[in-house]
Amino acid sequence: MLGRLDEAETLVGWLEERGRTLDRASALGAAARCRGLLAAAAGDLASAMNELEQSLAQYERVQIPFEYTRTLLALGSTQRRSKQKAAARATLTSALAGFEELGAAIWADKARKDLARISGRAPSGDELTPTERRVAELVAEGRSNKEVAATLFVSVRTVEGHLAKIYGKLGVRSRTALARRLLQ
């Protein structure tokens, strides 16, 4: 940003206005991510995380996996700066997986470096990661693996891999049992 935050704010405002006028989720997602980055640069990490969450919501409306994953990286970095270690670790792990799936090696390396900056121990292996929880919730809603993959911008194989881990962690063997377990 080179310290030109006011100019950036003006450009983001224009992008956001055009996105709203044309109802373009891609523009609204980009604008929200930029607002999040601007807030983070100003030290307002709570507002930054809020904007980045809004960006993710916009990118769920339109399938642009790279931009969705870039937003995950920004959110994870902001969570790390906010000392939300567990959330940051989970978000950055999802970003890393997304970049690896997309073949974006340079971006995957950025996610790896950010993950390495989180101090403390990684969580134990018996709790669901945020990505696993999201997959489990979508499956519990009755969605097929293909529908879950499309929603999360991953391959069907990735969904199947997550489901195998989820079933093992929760001790269930079917989609029905998974849905019941999540309702508890």
Q: Reduced to 3 DSSP states, what percent helix, strand and coil does the chain have, rounded to the nearest 5?
A: 75, 0, 25
pLDDT tens digit at each of 184 positions of the chain:
467 888 888 998 999 999 889 989 999 999 999 999 999 999 999 999 999 999 999 998 898 999 999 999 999 999 999 998 888 888 898 888 889 889 999 999 999 999 889 877 555 556 888 888 899 999 999 999 999 999 988 888 889 888 888 887 887 778 888 888 887 7
Nearest to 119 by CA among 77, 69, 68, 85: 85
All structural domains of the chain, each given as residue ranges with its CATH number in brackets, are: 5-116 (1.25.40.10), 130-183 (1.10.10.10)
Whether the full predicted model's pTM is greater than 0.85, yes or no, is: no
